[in-house]
């Protein structure tokens, strides 16, 4: 007889448990509305100064998040609960951050309706990255450091006007009394501060602006005045050796309306621009609403001036004065735009320039040419700029670029019109100011303008590829893929076509060549810049300039497979070739890099629908990838899902793509209801991670998939003039294709969309009865009335949207009247047989709220099943979490009723009368 092994009992237990394991896998629970707060996001990856320490944030949808400090060399990780706004010291031995109060503490304080002064306060945190010790300072009001944080920071507490100066190495703490404003120089630990003492509390401190060197304790008085003196913002040169600031110590009634600009040159303080300077245009003044900027070498400043504001007549009785807005047919901007931009326009300033020795003062910008920019490395006597001012009225319906181009003297401010009404935009100066790149939207060509000669050179028409957006599908002119990007020393610039980057020599000595070696076009892959550096002086982190002393990194996107990755080209080496570092069925993003060792170490985010998004790292050039975080392990406990790319032919013969989501427990023997959501094109997001979350407007895909819906997101392909039929001709063949699968329940299909998608849903249910239910969020129902409406979030009239942009009519209302009727769901409401749930909120700033009302009232008048959800005080998409939770519940109840045969909730069967508003939400069911 064979002897039993000692493993036999163990194997017996394992085998007997195996069916239980299988059963457990099959019976994972579906997501419900209680899970949202448990889902977190990992992101905002950065590495300081290419060194060992990186940071990233883990944030919940609601609740307390953390800052994670991660050592890329050792793998050491330090978590700071509720940390925000982190920065590293220059030597990366300390981290400074704010710790916000616990979410529940703040929530309880709001419930108790505590006053602002009694609310929970922030805390300042200093982390010693060597020892892991955290030092805290409670009751934080604010804190500041230089851009390159040295040994010192400064902060204020909520309970006092004292300014505390902290040595983050020794933790030595000093304080200054009655400080109203303060700032550090960019690279040095030099602190400027302004005092404004309350005479009742501080009779010693003198109002003024001071300079402190915390290391030596030496304080320099820059300017003092009386208690009514006005001291404004301060501005340093890059090296901290000079400083300029606004101030006025003359407190007489007339003089106090104005300000002077003072300069501290490291030795003395003097007025550089007096308030009554003779070179300031008559009726104008120096404005402290503008910022002061030093040139790179610190030899001149630019500042802002403006017309002296017209004062209100205080002798008039206010309640006897009329209140109205006057709209004029020939205004540059209509009243809603003017009112939206009122505060900005009141604070508008116009650029002026002066050498720091007081010579060559010049007013550059004016009411005709409002905006002029000078690069801080520019040593030329002229700049090129452009304005759309003569065309602003027409550009409220004709969005194609049209500008007048000027050559402006930096010596005397004279302006020469060199081109009028040209379709150019995206003008970019070389850092040294010698060259300008710009794009001609009509010719669809990139050009180079040489300041010294006035030559305009065609850059791209002979290169054999297209540099404008080939996927552009609205009536407007197509835009280029990106702006030109210059090198720091102005010796080359880069422009992207659909796939690749091209490098150009502004002198023409070298022919243009493919920086990415044509590999993008050859492999149907798009290359875009990825900046892994966090050093303020490195690639693309300052003024969008390329540091030629460092490799260039790219994010890659395979347009066929939708896979992403990273690539690198070391432009510091003469014969460097483009290297694909990593590529896979994920979304790679947010890279940081450590370059202090022999091999670079990368930290980045990686995610997909099935796995979620996490932080990863590699120390062997992506041969192995190490997962750093597992922020949502609970995802594995729920019935999740899968996603795949599907294709079909539209009625116009276009090969279309879309995303098809199936539940994790998918059973091909079952039939599933189909939920179709769409908005323009989403197929490129095949590998995007998605989280369960309260719905701000659209169905949450993980939620519906988990609850055993098949979810489909089709791409829409448009024909100008027929956006409604374009949706039909894209989606209906997709429905036919999907219904060929035996597991799709073709009798239980629903469609849902928001905004532009909401409009198309509204249109489609007037054209077909194939859908069992529909959700239409913020729909335009009547293009003839919406055409003249206002986008209240910007103040713009909506005409541009129909004539040239997303609504894609391509004609004005009168020329294309038949098209506006054809594409308006309102006029075909009698055809509707599909029950529809509309959401349109009463502070929608994108689509006029009354469009949803028009649609609902028409449906109601025609006896159609319809509900309108109007969230009070909410905009185009919901911002308040409580409302998003509510919408999520109602979307589920609505679609479950029609597609799964579940009972209708009371809010659907009986409604919720105004008398029960806030008392009964109507979620329940009739007994």
> pLDDT tens digits for 309-345?
998 888 899 999 999 999 999 999 999 999 999 999 9
Pairing between β-strand 612-618 and β-strand 601-608 as defined by DSSP bridges: antiparallel
Q: What is the pLDDT of residue 24?
A: 46
Q: What is the pLDDT of residue 46?
A: 84
Q: What is the sign of the dihedral through the CA atoms of 185, 189, 192 and 196?
A: positive
How far, in Å, CA of 595 to CA of 601, rounded? 7
Both tokens assigned to 836? 């529809």
DSSP string, 853-887: HHHHHHHHHTT--EEEE--TT--SS--SHHHHHHH
**Which DSSP state fits 704?**
H
Q: What is the pLDDT of residue 12?
A: 39
Angle subtended by helix axes 723-739 and 756-764, to nearest 10: 70
Angle at the Cα of 180 from the Cα atoms of 176 and 186, rounded to 5 degrees: 80
Q: What is the pLDDT of residue 226?
A: 93
Q: Three-state SS for 303?
A: strand
Neighbouring CB atoms inside 10 A of 394's CB total 12
3-state helix/strand/coil string of 334-372: CHHHHHHCHHHHHCCCEEEEEECCCCCCEECCCCCCCCC
**Which DSSP state fits 444?**
T
Q: What is the pLDDT of residue 540?
A: 36
How far, in Å, CA of 84 to CA of 90, rounded? 19
How far, in Å, CA of 252 to CA of 257, rounded? 9
Q: Which residues contact 2 (CB under 8 A, 6 or more apart)?
A: none
Q: Which residues contact 216 (CB under 8 A, 6 or more apart)?
A: none
Q: Which regions in the chain score pLDDT beneath 70?
A: 1-26, 50, 532-544
Q: What is the pLDDT of residue 549?
A: 87
Neighbouring CB atoms inside 10 A of 336's CB total 17
Q: What is the pLDDT of residue 186?
A: 82
C-beta of residue 354 within 8 angstroms of C-beta of residue 362: yes
CATH fold group of domain 638-916? Rossmann fold (3.40.50)
């Amino acid at each position: 007889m064979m002897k039993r092994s000692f493993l036999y009992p163990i194997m017996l237990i394992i085998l007997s448990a195996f069916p239980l394991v299988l059963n457990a896998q099959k019976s994972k629970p579906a997501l419900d509305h209680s899970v949202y707060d448990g889902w977190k996001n990992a992101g905002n990856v950065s590495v300081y100064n290419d060194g060992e320490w990186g940071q990233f944030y883990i944030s919940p949808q609601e609740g307390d998040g953390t800052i994670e400090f991660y050592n890329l060399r050792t793998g050491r990780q330090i978590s700071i609960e509720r940390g925000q706004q982190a920065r590293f010291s220059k030597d990366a031995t300390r981290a400074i951050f704010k710790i916000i109060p616990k979410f529940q503490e703040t929530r309880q304080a709001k419930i108790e309706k505590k006053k602002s002064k009694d609310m929970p306060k922030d805390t300042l945190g200093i982390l010693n990255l060597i020892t892991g010790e955290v030092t805290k300072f409670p009751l934080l009001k604010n804190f500041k450091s230089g851009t390159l944080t040295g040994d010192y920071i400064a902060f204020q507490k909520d309970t006092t006007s004292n300014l505390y100066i902290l040595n983050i190495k020794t933790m030595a703490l000093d304080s200054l009394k009655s400080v109203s404003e303060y700032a550090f120089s960019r690279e040095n630990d030099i602190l400027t501060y302004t005092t404004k003492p309350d005479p009742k509390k501080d009779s010693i401190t003198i109002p003024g602006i001071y300079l402190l060197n915390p290391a030596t304790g030496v304080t320099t008085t820059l300017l003092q005045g009386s208690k009514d003196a006005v001291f404004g913002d301060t501005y340093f040169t890059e090296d901290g050796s000079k400083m300029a600031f606004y101030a006025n110590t003359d407190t007489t009634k007339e003089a106090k309306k104005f300000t002077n600009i003072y300069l501290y040159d490291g030795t003395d303080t003097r007025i550089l621009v007096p308030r009554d300077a003779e070179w300031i245009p008559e009726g104008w003044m120096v404005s402290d609403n503008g910022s002061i900027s030093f040139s790179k070498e610190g030899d001149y400043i630019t500042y802002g001036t403006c017309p002296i504001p017209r004062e209100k007549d205080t002798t008039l009785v206010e309640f006897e004065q009329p209140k109205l807005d006057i709209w004029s047919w020939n205004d540059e901007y209509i009243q809603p735009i003017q009112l939206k931009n009122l505060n900005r326009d009141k604070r508008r300033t116009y650029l002026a320039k002066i050498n720091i020795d007081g010579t060559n003062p010049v007013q550059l910008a004016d009411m005709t040419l409002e905006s002029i920019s000078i690069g801080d490395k520019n040593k030329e006597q002229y700049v090129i700029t452009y304005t759309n001012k003569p065309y602003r009225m027409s550009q409220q319906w004709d969005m194609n670029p049209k500008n007048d181009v000027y050559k402006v003297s930096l010596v005397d401010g004279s302006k020469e019109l060199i081109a009028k009404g040209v379709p150019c935009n995206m003008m970019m100066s070389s850092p040294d100011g010698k060259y300008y790149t710009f794009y001609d939207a009509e010719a669809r060509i990139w050009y180079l303008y040489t300041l010294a000669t006035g030559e305009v050179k065609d850059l791209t028409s002979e290169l054999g590829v297209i540099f404008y957006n080939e996927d552009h599908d609205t009536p407007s002119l197509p835009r280029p893929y990106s702006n030109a990007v210059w090198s720091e020393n102005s010796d080359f610039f880069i422009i992207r076509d659909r796939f690749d980057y091209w490098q150009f020599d502004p002198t023409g000595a070298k022919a243009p060549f493919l920086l990415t070696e044509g590999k993008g076009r050859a492999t149907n892959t798009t290359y875009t810049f990825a900046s892994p550096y966090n050093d303020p002086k490195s690639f693309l982190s300052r003024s969008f300039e390329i540091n030629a002393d460092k490799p260039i990194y790219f994010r890659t996107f395979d347009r066929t497979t939708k896979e992403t990755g990273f690539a690198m080209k070391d432009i510091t080496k003469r014969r460097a070739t483009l290297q694909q570092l990593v590529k896979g069925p994920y979304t790679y993003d947010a890279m940081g890099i450590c370059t202090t060792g022999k091999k670079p170490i990368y930290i980045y985010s990686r995610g997909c629908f099935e796995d979620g998004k996490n932080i990863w790292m590699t120390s062997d050039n992506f041969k192995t990838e190490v997962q750093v975080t597992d922020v949502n392990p609970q995802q594995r406990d729920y019935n999740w899902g899968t996603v795949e790319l599907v294709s079909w032919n539209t009625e116009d013969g276009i090969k279309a793509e879309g995303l098809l989501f199936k539940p994790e427990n998918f059973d091909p023997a079952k039939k599933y209801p189909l939920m179709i959501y769409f908005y323009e094109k989403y197929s490129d997001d095949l590998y995007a991670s998605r989280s369960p979350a309260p719905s701000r407007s659209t169905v949450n895909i993980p939620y519906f998939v988990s609850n055993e819906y098949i979810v489909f997101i089709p791409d829409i392909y448009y024909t100008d003039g027929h956006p409604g039929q374009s949706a039909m001709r894209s989606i209906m063949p997709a429905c036919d294709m999907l219904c060929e699968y035996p597991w799709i329940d073709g009798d239980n299909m629903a469609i849902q969309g928001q905004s532009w998608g909401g409009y198309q849903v509204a249109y489609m249910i007037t054209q077909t009865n194939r859908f069992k239910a529909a959700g239409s969020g913020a729909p335009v129902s009547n293009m003839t009335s919406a055409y003249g409406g206002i986008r209240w979030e910007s103040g713009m009239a909506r005409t541009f949207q129909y004539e040239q942009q997303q609504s894609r009519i391509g004609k004005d209302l009168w020329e294309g009247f038949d098209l506006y009727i054809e594409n308006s769901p309102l006029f075909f409401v009698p055809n509707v047989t599909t029950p529809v749930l509309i959401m349109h909120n009463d502070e929608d700033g994108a689509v006029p709220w009354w469009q949803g009302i028009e649609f609902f009232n028409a449906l109601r008048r025609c006896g159609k099943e319809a509900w309108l959800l109007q969230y009070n005080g909410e905009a185009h998409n919901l911002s308040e979490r409580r409302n998003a939770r509510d919408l999520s519940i109602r979307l589920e109840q609505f679609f479950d009723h029609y597609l799964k045969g579940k009972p209708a909730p009371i809010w659907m069967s009986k409604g919720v009368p105004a008398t029960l508003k806030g008392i009964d939400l109507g979620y329940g069911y009739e007994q």
